[in-house]
Amino acid sequence: MTDNLSLTGDIPTVGPDENQTVAPANRRVTIWRLIIIGLIIVFVGFLVVGLERTNKSDWRASGVAPDFTFTTFDGKTIHLADLKGKGVVLNFWASWCEPCRDEAKLLEQAWQREKGNNIVFLGLDYLDQEHAAQAYLKEFGITYASGPDIQSAAARQYGITGVPETFFIGPDGTVKGYLLKQLTSEAELTGYIDAIRPQ
Amino acid sequence: MQLKISHWLFLCLLVAIFLVPAQVRLVHAQTTQQTPVPQQTPVTEDQINVIARELWCPLCSGVRLDACELKACDQMRQEIGLKLAAGDDLEAIKTYFVAQYGPQVLGEPPRAGFNWLAWILPFVVLLAGALFLVMRGRKLLFVKPGPTALPTVGPTVASNQDEPYVRRLEEELKRYD
């Protein structure tokens, strides 16, 4: 290989100076290289920023429940940070979701039982229509604070993959437990609530 | 004081002149009051689907709202029906769904702010790629004559000069055989 290179290198060049003819081509290559490297840097930059944002919102890393604000169907504004010191049961639901219907009564009964014990129940309606959601709340007699999760903002923060999903947030604002499926029994729900009960 | 028949007629004419326009104004007022009341025209499935075709299911990926069989999408179509009956147009309905579900319901990034990048970047990359190919192609197809072209030197001189190299090349090639 080196022999070949030396061979070509030994051929005498005829005509104008080599540097004069090759320089513009080199400049073009350098500009292209700069453009491509620049684009790669910008792309990697976007990836890094995106990754950082994802990490910040990923409560699984820190355990801290992502803060959110929502307005209930009856017009009350609720801010999760204001509920520090209380245990929070956060349920994501939708009127079109059959398993949500199956657990709705269980949640309302638990709320009736726990509302005097510094436990707050919140229902976030995921990708739903207000008419259908209101009918659902009426059908199951839901009385705890429920409202639409506008543009799925909280759902994204909590990284939900579907409904129903329930998160149990302790008085210190950390997620003590979560259930990525339908609640099946009162005992199961009570077990989770006990973990977030203020001392 | 007794009024003559002609006086009575004149009085009736006056009353008629003042009352008839008032009556017309009253009728007109009633009609203008009635106009804004939305007429409950039944909204057809086709009308709903025209709008639904412009939106995408927020739960599935790549399924238009008119073709989606999920209950959630059925509810969305019902909502479109209600909004159409209330007199909302396509843009108003789209705005409502974007406010509720986010821009992904439109199936394309909104043409605003940072999202413009998603619209412009593919064309920029395409253009840059095409430009690169054209430049490379030109370089490959049209070899510039002149500096790189070999000088016209007599064959005997050339062969004499090149002889050691040719001999070396043949030796090298023999080694590969």
Of A7-11, A20-24, B6-10, the range with the lowest mean pLDDT is: A7-11
In a domain, B118, yes or no: yes
Q: Are residues A165 and A70 in the same domain?
A: yes
Contacts of A149 (CB under 8 A, 6+ apart): A70, A92, A124, A125, A126, A155
**In Å, how far is B43's CA from the nearest CA of chain A?**
18
Q: Which residue of A has its CA nearest to B75?
A: A129
Output the pLDDT for position A51: 77
- 3-state SS of B95-159 is HHHHHHHCHHHHCCCCCCHHHHHHHHHHHHHHHHHHHHHHHHHHHHHCCCCCCCCCCCCCHHHHH
Cα dihedral sign for A78, A80, A85, A88? positive
> Does the pLDDT of residue A67 top 80, yes or no?
yes
Q: How many domains are contained in chain A? A: 2
Q: Are residues B138 and B128 in the same domain?
A: yes
CB contact under 8 A, A150 and B151: no
In a domain, B13, yes or no: no
Output the pLDDT for position A75: 96
Q: Are residues A16 and A85 in the same domain?
A: no
Output the pLDDT for position B174: 87
Q: Are residues B89 and B116 in the same domain?
A: no
**In Å, how far is B87's CA from the nearest CA of chain A?**
18
Q: Are residues B140 and B86 in the same domain?
A: no
> Does the pLDDT of residue B157 top 80, yes or no?
no
Parent domain of B125: 110-144
> Does the pLDDT of residue A60 top 90, yes or no?
no
Query: Which residues 137-166 of A are in CB contact (within 8 Å) with B?
Result: 148, 150-152
More confident residue, B151 or A189: A189
More confident residue, B141 or B133: B133
pTM metric for this prediction: 0.65
In a domain, B96, yes or no: yes
Parent domain of A41: 2-55
CATH number at residue B53: 1.10.8.640
Q: How would residue A155 be classed by pLDDT, with cut points 50, 70 and 90?
A: very high
> How much of chain B is in helix, strand and coil states, percent to nearest 5?
70, 0, 30
Write down the ipTM of this complex.
0.71
Q: How many domains are contained in chain B? A: 2
Which residue, of A55, A78, A97, is where some domain finishes? A55
Q: Are residues B53 and B91 in the same domain?
A: yes
Distance CA A162, CA A195 (A): 24
CATH number at residue A185: 3.40.30.10
Q: How would residue B37 be classed by pLDDT, with cut points 50, 70 and 90?
A: very low
The strand pair at A87-93 and A119-125 is best described as parallel
Q: Is A15 on the interface with B (CB under 8 A)?
A: yes
CB contact under 8 A, A94 and B147: no
For residues A39-63, give the mean pLDDT.
77
Q: Which residue of B has its CA nearest to A31?
A: B132
The strand pair at A145-148 and A119-125 is best described as parallel
